[in-house]
Structure 1
Amino acid sequence: MLLLGIDIGTSAIKISVVDADKQSCVASLRYPEEEETAILTPEAGWAEQSPDMWWEHVQQAIRSLNNQKCYNPQDIKAIGIAYQMHGLVMVDKALNNLRNAIIWCDSRAVSIGEKAFRALGEEAALASLLNSPGNFTAAKLGWIKEYEPVLYDSVYKVMLPGDYIAMKLTGTITTSISALSEGIFWDFRNKRLSKELMDYFGFREDLIPTVAPLFGEHGRLSKEIADKLGLAAGIPISYKAGDQPNNALSLNVLNPGEVAATAGTSGVIYGVSDQLVYDRLSRVNTFAHVNYGLDDPKVGVLLCINGTGILNRWVKEQFGKGLDYEDMNRLASTVSLGSDGLKILPFGNGAERILENRILGAHLANLDLNKHQREHVFRASQEGIAFAFRYGLDIMRENGMSPEVIRAGKANLFLSDLFTQIFVNVTDTPVELYNNDGSVGAALGAGIGAGVFNSSKEAFQNAKALRVIEPNPNWNYEEEYGQWLHLLENQLK
């Protein structure tokens, strides 16, 4: 039996077909294969993408993977979807998309979320929502209501990116408690849609889709779309989760104290707790995990840094023409620890939650034109990203999340042995690397939701760490981190 996983990323769509019996990937594909999907920035601090572009890329990816002839598409029995979190997608009654999606790193709604936070009462909001409305989906919808009222009046349903793709596949619109929580619509204390938030913004409750179990049916593939994609009509979408909860699932991070990390366009550390914890400054955020239950409230505590992999990509484009990432890492390895004093703050991708939603911008400091070469920039960027992780992890530690080990997929920045060792030493936390992938995790999630597996434990019973990276006693980064932190604090004054 085969399972299809779809991962709607910021830079590309990734899909995988998984053999359920072996829990192994049969074939996978990234689309577009070479270039990265653009983020549209109509104004400074804004970030948008077209949902219809995502849908076109999903279709192209599935057809291209089918054409590889590695499997029989008719043997696919369930579909799972992972997606970039916190985006806002809106459709009318004919299920037509109404505008570009306002995606996760868009900063336009910060002031709207902060105003809502004060009006709801900060203590009351944190106790029930576990977060400030901040810059999340609810605040983005509030921005639409205030600044695009004609469009708002035509909205039938509001969705996250994964909901939209599921709708295009099935014609059915659903959400989940986990999805509502990432939009800051879910009241954890009263275990329902937040009436207080909905009333404050003046949102109609019927804007929210039907709530379905995260591991459960979210519609069935329509015959029209099945025929276009070469799949069997009627197979269920049986799993749908945000990319970070899904990444944690794919690393078998499901129990309190277990922690996962990613370092793609953004950088994330995601830890599981069975306590309804929150940070009083909302610098880290708490959402319902994939295995959240009303009577067993497992939550994910999420540290997000917007400017990680996107900085690495920018450095490559500006300083690494003609080089691939392996070349950059090799050159960076020739530079000593600390990059000969060069320091980089990687906060150039919108409002940063760990900085209390400030838009700081990226900064390059202490540049010596007589000494520093491009290899110094390559290493300093990776060190700056690792320092940002350390800064955020210290906030998580303040809130009771102190991981003994962090699990990560060997992907994106964790493909770099240099970055991985820097990360381990800067955070003083070992990393277990796995050959995991978000689309593979989504496929296995579909298997759980469709009842192919009896439990998540069964779905991931073959998962084994590729290796464990321990701190290198010869790499002491405390002084370098202190210098970086001083630079950051000066910018925050």
Structure 2
Amino acid sequence: MEYVIGIDLGTSSVKALLVNREGKVCGEASESYPLITPKSGYSEQEPEQWVEKSLSALRKLVTDSGIEAGAVKGISFSGQMHGLVLLDEQHKVLRNAILWNDTRTTKQCRQIEEKLGEQLLSVTRNPALEGFTLPKILWVQQHEPELFAKASVFLLPKDYLRYRLTGELGMDYSDAAGTLLLDVAGRRWSPEVLEAFGLDESFCPKLVASTECVGTLLPEMAEQSGLTTDVKVFGGGADNACGATGAGILGPGETLCSIGTSGVILSYEENASADYAGKVHFFNHAEPDAFYAMGVTLAAGSSLSWFRDTFASGISFDELLAGAATVPAGADGLLFTPYLSGERTPHADSAIRGSFIGMDLRHKKEHFTRAVIEGITFSLRESIEILRSAGKQIDTIVSIGGGARSELWLQMQADIFNAEVVRLESEQGPAMGAAMLAAAGLNWFSSLKECAGQFIGKAASYQPSGEQVKLYNDLYPLYKDVYTSTQSLNRKLGPFRS
């Protein structure tokens, strides 16, 4: 039997997934690493930790599965997006990586908007947000000029890991699209953006396709991982592109709802002609010559985790959701907005904060739980509405993550989204997408679509209920009003937050 390995380099841990030619998961291993937060709003990691922990996960995977090392034919990657890794001329790391959830770059975002104007959206297809890579580059350039003068090239997290494993520099299109330096439609580094900020194209790594073979394991990396130097290594993709691939979002009309710490609505786009005016992200897909539009709720699953940890400590999520199922839709007039970390789509507002609206003496813990999951789902609907208002038809949505582990929540998604919601047989997320990129790169399949037919199965579907759809349609405008009504109040409360 032959195998591929998908490596998902996340924010808190790395996961390695072993998959055979039939798409069966034959093993998995993970290792965690710390977050470095030297100041409020700062979020960094030591890149060498990614390498050390990935090698450890690979060794564990090979040992625990009991396979022959030579049976692994390919490796590919999924990675946390946007994180800045700076290398000097000897390709040594110059500083800790600045991660996607670092918020120190608001000033640099405004500078980018001022300098590029309308060109920013027309070329990069995305607004300037603190999470993206270019603002981080400008921050280092302005605050650490002596260090920046030594920088010869930048990489994103999974690209640094791939470089250390193979000795080859490169970045795939789906991850490059999140840098604000890529001409997304033209699939090239933008000369206009580079020139505007005095950056040479040599500062950017070579662009590669997600299924492109970029090399093989270096001898020392093969030895440390328990694999062989014959293993082919492929470009890989951004975590959301790989998550979409691993869920089979590989054709027109296919849409994904992913509820993890954050929440994502992601829809496949055939070409770059779709224009959402920057209201949602627009990135290159891991699927060749394809794209995806994506809206983000910053505190999706984390809103439910916060509620449980704060008000229902010691109660499992299953118990919490079972209680919510006893409460009618609409939580007896209680609304929640999940703005605990600010919001991304559709507001891009770092100052807004969450609210419970409509509390009265009848409301119990079960009502609050239901209101929280309804509020998270209403927030995700806002991204769906942006896509629909641009003429996109969304009738079926594949649901993954924590929101797909509850029958109550799956039916709620169907009713609030007014669409069929599908649950997968075996959900492995971005790691499975990375494994599929390796399988397609090895030509086990003629396309990622064919690979998905073998690797991905649908377990159940949930249809919208007419009565519930009407109730949620009536509540939805009230949910949206909460943002408008509390925006000014939250800005005034800002100075009182420690």
> Is the structural similarity TM-score above 0.5?
yes
Letter in 1 for 2:16: I
Letter in 1 for 2:6: G
Letter in 1 for 2:422: E
Tell me the residue number matched to 2:95: 99
Between the aligned partners of 1:93 and 1:25, the Cα distance in structure 2 is: 40
Tell me the residue number matched to 1:343: 335
**Conserved? CA contact 1:265–1:307, under 8 Å:** yes
Matches within 5 A, 1:182-221: 182-188=178-184, 190-221=186-217
Which deviations, in whole Å up to 9, do the C-alpha atoms of 1:26-59 show, x marking residues without a partner? 1123434xxxx66554444443334333333323
Other structure's SS at 1:478 match: helix
Tell me the residue number matched to 1:59: 55
Structure 2 stretches of 5 or more lacking a match?
489-498
**Conserved? CA contact 1:307–1:347, under 8 Å:** yes
Q: Give the Å deviation of 1:364.
A: 3.3
Tell me the residue number matched to 1:14: 15
Letter in 1 for 2:25: C
**Conserved? CA contact 2:209–2:286, under 8 Å:** no
Which deviations, in whole Å up to 9, do the C-alpha atoms of 1:374-424 show, x marking residues without a partner? 333322221111010011211122223331111233x32221222222222
2:273 aligned with 1:283: no
Tell me the residue number matched to 2:443: 451
1:486 to 481, 484, 496: 481
Which deviations, in whole Å up to 9, do the C-alpha atoms of 1:73-118 show, x marking residues without a partner? 3311100101122222223334333333322233332342233223
Tell me the residue number matched to 1:418: 408
**Conserved? CA contact 2:287–2:448, under 8 Å:** no
Which deviations, in whole Å up to 9, do the C-alpha atoms of 1:238-265 show, x marking residues without a partner? 1410111112212222222221221112
Q: Give the Å deviation of 1:458.
A: 2.7
2:315 aligned with 1:323: yes
**Conserved? CA contact 1:238–1:447, under 8 Å:** no
Change over 3 Å in CA distance of 1:306–1:101 after alignment to 2: farther
Other structure's SS at 1:219 match: strand
Q: Give the Å deviation of 1:445.
A: 1.0
Tell me the residue number matched to 2:495: none
**Conserved? CA contact 1:239–1:449, under 8 Å:** no
Between the aligned partners of 1:481 and 1:389, the Cα distance in structure 2 is: 11
Other structure's SS at 1:97 match: coil
1:386 to 346, 352, 377: 377
Tell me the residue number matched to 2:44: 48
**Conserved? CA contact 2:9–2:50, under 8 Å:** yes
2:351 aligned with 1:356: no
Between the aligned partners of 2:71 and 2:194, the Cα distance in structure 1 is: 43
More displaced stretch, 227-236 vs 66-75: 66-75
Between the aligned partners of 1:54 and 1:156, the Cα distance in structure 2 is: 21
**Conserved? CA contact 1:138–1:184, under 8 Å:** yes
2:422 aligned with 1:429: no
Q: Give the Å deviation of 1:451.
A: 2.3
Letter in 1 for 2:372: S
Between the aligned partners of 2:66 and 2:40, the Cα distance in structure 1 is: 45
Equivalenced residue count is: 481
Matches within 5 A, 1:53-452: 53-122=49-118, 124-135=119-130, 136-188=132-184, 190-277=186-273, 281-293=277-289, 298-349=290-341, 352-368=344-360, 370-409=361-400, 411-434=401-424, 435-437=426-428, 438-452=430-444
Change over 3 Å in CA distance of 1:292–1:128 after alignment to 2: farther
TM-score by length of 2: 0.89
**Conserved? CA contact 2:251–2:268, under 8 Å:** yes
Change over 3 Å in CA distance of 1:336–1:190 after alignment to 2: closer
Letter in 2 for 1:108: R
**Conserved? CA contact 2:173–2:286, under 8 Å:** no
Other structure's SS at 1:468 match: strand
Q: Give the Å deviation of 1:481.
A: 2.2
**Conserved? CA contact 2:250–2:449, under 8 Å:** no
Change over 3 Å in CA distance of 1:310–1:103 after alignment to 2: farther
Between the aligned partners of 1:50 and 1:396, the Cα distance in structure 2 is: 37
Other structure's SS at 2:391 match: coil
Change over 3 Å in CA distance of 1:112–1:388 after alignment to 2: same
Between the aligned partners of 1:113 and 1:485, the Cα distance in structure 2 is: 27
Q: Give the Å deviation of 1:197.
A: 0.8
Change over 3 Å in CA distance of 1:56–1:336 after alignment to 2: farther
Q: Give the Å deviation of 1:189.
A: 5.3
Q: Give the Å deviation of 1:317.
A: 2.2
Between the aligned partners of 2:248 and 2:355, the Cα distance in structure 1 is: 36
Other structure's SS at 1:182 match: coil
Q: Give the Å deviation of 1:170.
A: 1.8
Other structure's SS at 1:179 match: helix
**Conserved? CA contact 2:172–2:235, under 8 Å:** no
Q: Give the Å deviation of 1:278.
A: 5.7
Seq. identity, %: 27
**Conserved? CA contact 1:258–1:403, under 8 Å:** yes
The CA RMSD measured in Å over matched residues stands at 2.3
Letter in 2 for 1:208: C
Change over 3 Å in CA distance of 1:273–1:339 after alignment to 2: same
Other structure's SS at 1:118 match: helix
Letter in 2 for 1:361: R
Q: Give the Å deviation of 1:183.
A: 1.2
Between the aligned partners of 1:272 and 1:318, the Cα distance in structure 2 is: 37
Q: Give the Å deviation of 1:13.
A: 2.2
TM-score by length of 1: 0.90
Q: Give the Å deviation of 1:343.
A: 2.5
Letter in 2 for 1:244: N
More displaced stretch, 171-180 vs 352-361: 352-361
1:466 to 459, 482, 485: 459
Other structure's SS at 1:27 match: strand
Change over 3 Å in CA distance of 1:280–1:3 after alignment to 2: closer
Change over 3 Å in CA distance of 1:191–1:78 after alignment to 2: closer
